[in-house]
Chains A and B, each alone.
Chain A
Amino acid sequence: MSKPERAWDPGNPDRLYIVTKSCGQADPGVTRLDLVTLIVARTETDPGLQPEHETIVRMCDYPLSVAEISAYLTLPVSTVTVLLNDLLARGHVEARPPVPVAALPDVGLLEAVMHGLQNL
């Protein structure tokens, strides 16, 4: 549909709790997904999947962040998180935490190295 508004709001009787089937309560102990966690599909879509799951698997052909998936699906992040947790539990997708900032060398060090190199 080429409607500019959200696809599900004016023309869709679906409610979000049906999409997640779980009233949004995340099980304790599941991977905590961040907005910038990258999601990659590990398997092909299979016909048993709910359409939302299937779409996520299909679009995560290459890594997409949770925020991007949420935007493409026009679903709130919490809903996407629940869906992703389902998929993670079933092994359809893989979550890759973003590069931790602390692991990168800090800017001061890089500048020092750069200056050192320039001074050579």
Chain B
Amino acid sequence: MVGTGSSPHVRRPASSLIWLVPPVVLAVCTASAGLLAPGEARVPVVWCGAAASVAVALASAVAARRGRVIHALRRRCDEREAELRGLLERQEAETRRLADLLLPAAFKMLQQGASADEVLGHVAPSPHAGTPFAAEHRSVLRSVVYAVQAEEGLRDSAHRAFVNIARRLQAIIHQQATDLREMEDRHGNNPEVFSDLLHLDHGTALIGRLADSIAVLGGSRPGRQWKNPVPLYNVLRGAMSRIMDYRRVDLHSVADVAITGPGVEPVIHAAAELLDNATRYSPPETRVHLTAVEIQSGVAIEIEDAGVGLTDETRRRTERVLELAERGLDLNDLGETPRLGLAVVSRLARNYRFRVSLRPSAYGGVRAVLIVPSELVTASATPGGEIARAATLPPPKVRKKPGRPLPDPPQMEHSAADGHTPGGLPQRRRRALGLAARAAAVAPADPPRRTEPAAQPTQPGIWLAAFTNALKGDAPVGDRGALSDDPSDEKE
């Protein structure tokens, strides 16, 4: 019944000696007892002694044999335990590898758009491949990867649907805005219609912002693309035009730079969302201040409100929203995101490397700073803003004294060739002085005026007023201090 391994035989000589000791001792005792016992008792003593010795010998032999069996069993048991422990450790290591290495790598690949089969093919095979355990792991990995892929597909299609809807909305809104513009032009002379059109225009811009927000949250870029750089001043006014309470926004000094075409829409949108937050979460009678300064790493757009400010709880929530969107916002989270605008802003910030920070303001409200990186900033072609400064300025006029002969017009052919002149108007002739002189008069525009304060009393155009008044036969009205002089000594 004892397993006959090779190892028990090795120990046999030592143990065989030990089990012989008790019977030998007993035999020796029996022998000496037989010698010492009286004659008639000697025979029974020897017989008893011999029987006892044999019994003890038998018992010892059995005990020794069992001892050897137990020993062997224990050793086998230890070996088995060690073997099982090793297996367990290997499995633990394999599970850890699955959790720490394989699954994250697989998710990453899936998020980058690889298919489930590609991912499974790329994942490093287990070092214990072939064992049933490794196979089980593999199947776990496979089912997880397929499940995640299905989930990603669902999310993607939801995003695509969002973006698709937003794009259609944007197209309609853009068309409507264009139409409104045309109508504004057409009905520019009718203040009532014009005012209504502006009202509609504003409403359309608000809808447009919402459509842009949906597009951004769907992972796309906002709105239309601009080809040329747009001056920051106009960009910020564009942002103002997309919020409800634009009248409460004070646009202060703005750095004379422009935003490159691809950056225009994101900057407008991010600034509009921040402005919307600022106006929405501050009392309606307070003002919101908007400034932009140039800094080392780009342009900082600052929006400061005098609202309730950030409590600790709000700040935590805000930071959570910003962080959520950093990781890529899940559409399921939108329901519980109280400030949709912030999610949009942080999404834009991630895509266009803006930096956004919300800090307590000196007014007690929030001071939001949006930093536009310098690669989206360029020099402005029309400092100050596009509508006004790029407008065609009328050519500088010759201020002539009444009655004095006109300057001789030798350069009429130049004027006529210019095309701007609808036929020899006297003030156009000055233009023929040459492009350089005209540029000098139009582009800097301010310097010549700064030299003039001495001529303050003789306001430009007063001679004409005098002329008109004389025609009408009125008495001079208003500040006619200058008129008491002879108008003919007005400086040219």
Minimal beta-carbon separation of B286 from chain A (angstroms): 17
**Interface of B, helix, strand, loop or mixed by DSSP:** helix
Task: Specify which of B205, B384, B461 is in contact with A15 (CB 8 Å cutoff).
Answer: B205
Minimal beta-carbon separation of B387 from chain A (angstroms): 5
Chain A residue, CB-CB nearest to B177: A15
Q: Does B411 have its Cβ within 8 Å of any Cβ on chain A?
A: no
With contacts A12-B234, A13-B237 taken as known, whether A24 is within 8 angstroms of B449 at the C-beta atoms is: no
Task: Specify which of B181, B264, B388 is in contact with A13 (CB 8 Å cutoff).
Answer: B264
Minimal beta-carbon separation of B165 from chain A (angstroms): 23
Task: Specify which of B246, B453, B459, B473 is in contact with A40 (CB 8 Å cutoff).
Answer: B459
- Hey, which chain A residues are within 8 Å of B460, CB to CB? 40-41, 61-62
With contacts A13-B237, A78-B190 taken as known, whether A96 is within 8 angstroms of B389 at the C-beta atoms is: no
1/0 per residue, CB under 8 A from A, across B256-267: the answer is: 000000001000
A63 touches B394 (CB 8 A): no
Q: Does B298 have its Cβ within 8 Å of any Cβ on chain A?
A: no
Q: Which of B213-242 contact A (CB under 8 A)?
A: 226-228, 230, 233-235, 237-238, 240-241
Minimal beta-carbon separation of B100 from chain A (angstroms): 49
Minimal beta-carbon separation of B272 from chain A (angstroms): 10
Inter-chain CA distance A38–B468, complex, in Å, is: 11
Minimal beta-carbon separation of A67 from chain B (angstroms): 10
A74 touches B391 (CB 8 A): yes
Inter-chain CA distance A61–B458, complex, in Å, is: 12
A61 touches B387 (CB 8 A): no
- Hey, which chain B residues are within 8 Å of A12, CB to CB? 230, 234, 238, 386-387
- Hey, which chain B residues are within 8 Å of A45, CB to CB? 446, 449
A73 touches B391 (CB 8 A): yes
A96 touches B184 (CB 8 A): no
Task: Specify which of A26, A40, A70, A76 is in contact with B184 (CB 8 Å cutoff).
Answer: A76
Minimal beta-carbon separation of B160 from chain A (angstroms): 27
Task: Specify which of A7, A64, A96 is in contact with B468 (CB 8 Å cutoff).
Answer: A96
- Hey, which chain B residues are within 8 Å of A103, CB to CB? 471-473
A73 touches B387 (CB 8 A): yes
Minimal beta-carbon separation of B18 from chain A (angstroms): 104
Categorize the interface residue count of chain A: 35 or more
1/0 per residue, CB under 8 A from B, across A1-16: the answer is: 1000001110111111
- Hey, which chain A residues are within 8 Å of B226, CB to CB? 11, 13
B198 touches A55 (CB 8 A): no
Q: Which of B454-479 contact A (CB under 8 A)?
A: 459-461, 464-465, 468, 471-473, 478
Inter-chain CA distance A52–B230, complex, in Å, is: 17
Q: Does B194 have its Cβ within 8 Å of any Cβ on chain A?
A: yes
Q: Does B185 have its Cβ within 8 Å of any Cβ on chain A?
A: yes
A17 touches B241 (CB 8 A): yes
- Hey, which chain B residues are within 8 Å of A38, CB to CB? 464
Inter-chain CA distance A18–B237, complex, in Å, is: 7
B393 touches A58 (CB 8 A): yes
Minimal beta-carbon separation of A33 from chain B (angstroms): 10
- Hey, which chain A residues are within 8 Å of B399, CB to CB? 62
Inter-chain CA distance A78–B190, complex, in Å, is: 7
B201 touches A64 (CB 8 A): no
B465 touches A18 (CB 8 A): no
Query: Most B CB atoms within 10 A — which of A17, A20, A41, A54?
Result: A17
Minimal beta-carbon separation of B175 from chain A (angstroms): 14
- Hey, which chain A residues are within 8 Å of B202, CB to CB? 15, 17, 23
Inter-chain CA distance A12–B177, complex, in Å, is: 13
Inter-chain CA distance A2–B198, complex, in Å, is: 27
With contacts A18-B246, A73-B391 taken as known, whether A1 is within 8 angstroms of B230 at the C-beta atoms is: no
Q: Does B318 have its Cβ within 8 Å of any Cβ on chain A?
A: no
Q: Does A25 have its Cβ within 8 Å of any Cβ on chain B?
A: yes
B191 touches A15 (CB 8 A): no
Q: Does B314 have its Cβ within 8 Å of any Cβ on chain A?
A: no
Q: Which of B373-389 contact A (CB under 8 A)?
A: 381-382, 384-389
- Hey, which chain B residues are within 8 Å of A61, CB to CB? 396-397, 460-461
Q: Which of B109-131 contact A (CB under 8 A)?
A: none
Residues of A that sit less than 8 Å from B by CB = 1, 7-9, 11-26, 35, 38, 40-42, 44-45, 50-52, 54-55, 58-59, 61-64, 68, 70, 72-79, 81, 94, 96, 99-100, 103-104
Residues of B that sit less than 8 Å from A by CB = 181, 184-185, 187-191, 194-195, 198-199, 201-202, 205, 226-228, 230, 233-235, 237-238, 240-241, 246-247, 264, 268, 381-382, 384-394, 396-397, 399, 445-446, 449, 452-453, 459-461, 464-465, 468, 471-473, 478
18 intermolecular pairs with C-beta atoms under 8 Å apart: A7-B386, A11-B226, A14-B386, A14-B387, A16-B198, A17-B198, A17-B201, A18-B238, A23-B202, A44-B452, A45-B446, A51-B388, A51-B389, A59-B394, A64-B394, A72-B393, A73-B387, A78-B195
Q: A16-B184, A26-B191, A99-B472 are in contact. List 13 more A-B contacts (CB 8 A).
A: A12-B387, A17-B202, A23-B199, A24-B191, A50-B388, A55-B393, A62-B397, A62-B461, A62-B464, A73-B388, A73-B391, A78-B191, A99-B471
